[in-house]
Every structure is written in structure tokens, then in C-alpha cells.
Amino acid sequence: MFKQFTENIKGNEVYLISSLGLFLVFFIVVTILLIRVRRNHVNYMSNLPLNDGAAEMERIGL
């Protein structure tokens, strides 16, 4: 099924392989950085939409 891709790119493998390599490096770097993010920061960030100032005003009746 994938034969035609490998045949088509003969002589131009450099584009495909370097592009995939580039993405792989990028993906791994982002993943590593993400693993190192602290849990309390993640909790803080994910709660941002739920705390928008207006809700606070509503709660205290302003």
C-alpha cells in the first residue's frame, strides 16, 4: 500500500526524512518540557476560565 510513496520520493528522501526528523525532535522537546511542568501550575492554569472576575462580582451581589 505504501510502495508508491517510497517509490515516488526516490532522490528526494532528504525532504521527507529531515521533515519527519524535525517534527520528532520538536515533539520530544515539547513532551519533556511538559512532563516537567509542576502540578499546581497546571491546576492553576486549567482553572483560569472558571475564575473570570465577573463570577466573583456576581457571587458578592455587585
Partner 1 sequence: MQPEKFYYDNKIVRNFGIATVVWGIIGMTVGLLVAIQLYHPAANMGNQYTTFGRIRPLHTNAVIFAFVGNAIFMGVYYSLQRLLKARMFSDVLSKVHFWGWQLIILAAVLTLPLGITTSHEYAELEWPIDIAITLIWVVFGVNMFGTIIKRRERHLYVAIWFYIATFVTIAVLHIVNSFELPISAFKSYYLYAGVQDALVQWWYGHNAVAFFLTTPYLGMMYYFLPKMANRPIYSYKLSILHFWALIFIYIWAGPHHLLYTSLPGWAQSLGVAFSIMLIAPSWGGMINGLLTLRGAWDKVRDDVVLKFMVVGLTAYGMATFEGPMLSLKQVNAIGHFTDWIVAHVHVGALGWNGFLTFAILYWLIPRIYRTELFSKKLAAFHFWIGTLGILFYAVPMYWAGFTQGLMLKEFTAEGMLKYPNFLETTLRIIPMHVMRSVGGALYLAGVIIMAYNLVRTAAQGKLVANEGAEAMPLASLHVDQHQEKWHRRLERRPVKLMVFSLIVILIGSVIELIPTFTISSNVPTIASVKPYSPLELQGRDIYIREGCVNCHSQTVRPFRSETERYGDYSKAGEFVYDHPFLWGSKRTGPDLAREGGKYGDAWHFNHLMDPRLMSPGSIMPAYDWLITQQLDTTNTIAKINAMRKLGVPYKAGYEKIANRELDAQAQAIALNLLKDKIKVKSDKEIIALIAYLQRMGIDIKASKTANNN
Binding to partner 1 by CB under 8 A, coded x per residue (else -) over 31-50, reads: x-xx-xxx--xxxxxxxxxx
**Alpha helices per DSSP H over the chain:** 3-8, 13-35, 39-46, 54-59
What single-letter amino acid sits at 4? Q
Q: Are the C-beta atoms of residues 3 and 10 closer than 8 Å to each other?
A: no
**Shortest distance in whole angstroms from residue 41 CB to partner 1:** 6
Which grid coordinates belong to 61? 451581589
Binding to partner 1 by CB under 8 A, coded x per residue (else -) over 1-20, reads: x--xx--xx--x--xx-xxx
Residue with the three cell numbers 501550575? 41
- Where along the sequence are the contacts to partner 1 (CB under 8 A)? 1, 4-5, 8-9, 12, 15-16, 18-20, 22-23, 26-27, 30-31, 33-34, 36-38, 41-50, 52-54, 56-57, 62
